[in-house]
Amino acid sequence: MVLPADLPLIRPETLVDIARAPLAGEVLMPVFEQQRGHPVRFAPACGDALAALQGNQGAAPVVSARAAIKIVVNDPGCITDIDTLDDLQRAERLLQAAP
């Protein structure tokens, strides 16, 4: 699974759900409210392609080269990355609103 460090609000149960889900294809991607999220799970067959990645493009080329299977999750944390101060403030509001 690929889990960027700038997504600290992903719920532990989402991680478990992605890890335990059947891997019918080579890529399994969570989706929250029709937005693709993280962590993205890759089959071992993707290993060489992932290892060959360069630059700051992430694993998008590997995902787009394969048919990603989507799994719907109820976790805004899987799409809540924190790159700016505005993102941090939004994340703080999400944490305060959480039950």
| Cα distance between residue 24 and residue 18, in whole Å | 12
pLDDT tens-digit series, residues 6-57: 899 999 999 999 999 998 889 999 999 999 999 999 999 999 999 999 988 7
CA distance 62 to 6: 20
Q: CATH assignment of 12-97?
A: 3.90.550.10
Q: How far is 23 from 41, CA to CA, in rounded Å?
A: 8
pLDDT digits (tens, 9 = 90+) for 78-96: 999 898 999 889 888 888 8
pTM confidence score: 0.85
Q: Domain spans of the chain? A: 12-97
**Is 80:94 a contact under the CB 8 Å cutoff?**
yes
